Amino acid sequence: MNYDTKAVEEMKIWLLRQKQTTHWKTTKATLSACYALLSKGYNLLTDQKPLSVKLGDKPIEKLRKVTPEAGTGYVKTSFAAAEIAPELAKISVENQNNGIAWGAAYWQYFEQLDKITAAKTDVQIKKQLFLKMKTEKGSVLRTISEKDPIAVGDEVVVRIEITTRRNMEYVHLKDLRASAFEPVTTISGYKWQDGLGYYSEVKDAAMNFFIGYLPKGSYVFEYSLRATHSGQFSNGITTMQCMYAPEFTTQSEGIRIKVEQ
């Protein structure tokens, strides 16, 4: 039987890429996917060459003792702050096998929350705060400014806009809030909004949203807070991460607020 080998390999890549942020629903689906990967195209089980990873001009094996996981070849290592040099920022990867390989690199550091900038990834988060004002025409949202500042007792609406370019499952959205705010609703529970189901959890310093399935597209989350203290505060950031693939993560920029007496 003749078939397009290149097309088959590209379909196998698509199948594995989908597995990054989603899961195969049943044991039968998992078995079918594994059968398709192993029985068609290049034989992935014959690929035994390790992935070549260089940090700067040095192979990772010279910097760390790494032992690939049997079967998958998975390797993970970390470096302390004192070990990190500017040349380590240049990472080169060479795959000497016929099959697909991928990885992720990230670094962690401490920074003041209001100085954090928004991440530029395939998932974008925009966080805004609005004053909820009562008028003759009903409740309206106004942008916080010197003309309309936050005062103790005011209701503030948090609006979180999310845009994602791919489907993801098991997503955790965490929104920090300033110590000057208290949530209007303190009851956690499952909600359904605009075709998206999620569980919202109210905590002392943040609001958590657990999303089972997040299709690609744009979504808006809103909830209300009450200003209880005056002063200047850091309102923190909003972070989102796919728990199935932690490398798919993003955050909003930090916000600093002022609450008047």
What's the pLDDT tens digit per position in 38-84?
888 877 777 777 778 888 888 888 888 888 777 677 788 888 888 88
In terms of domains, do 81 and 144 share one?
no
> What is residue 155's predicted lDDT score, i.e. its pLDDT?
92
Residues 6+ apart with CB under 8 A from 231: 180, 258, 259
> What is residue 2's predicted lDDT score, i.e. its pLDDT?
58
In terms of domains, do 117 and 86 share one?
no
- Percentage of the chain with pLDDT > 70? 98
CATH classification at residue 233: 2.60.40.2110
In terms of domains, do 147 and 182 share one?
yes
Distance CA 90, CA 54 (A): 8
Distance CA 166, CA 170 (A): 13
**Got the DSSP string for 132-159?**
EEEETTEEEEEE--SSS-EETT-EEEEE
**Structure pTM?**
0.79
> What is residue 13's predicted lDDT score, i.e. its pLDDT?
85
Residue 160, helix vs strand vs coil: strand
CB 100 within 8 A of CB 16: yes
- Asked if residue 104 is part of any domain, the answer here is no
In terms of domains, do 82 and 129 share one?
no
Distance CA 159, CA 58 (A): 46
What's the number of domains the chain is made of? 2
Distance CA 175, CA 206 (A): 5
Owning domain of residue 26: 5-94
Identify the domain boundary among 94, 127, 153.
94
Distance CA 92, CA 94 (A): 7
- Asked if residue 151 is part of any domain, the answer here is yes
In terms of domains, do 86 and 157 share one?
no
For the record, the structure tokens of 208 come out as 């958590």
> What is residue 223's predicted lDDT score, i.e. its pLDDT?
92
Identify the domain boundary among 44, 61, 94.
94
- Asked if residue 68 is part of any domain, the answer here is yes
pLDDT digits (tens, 9 = 90+) for 88-143: 888 888 888 777 787 888 777 788 888 888 888 888 999 999 998 888 888 888 88
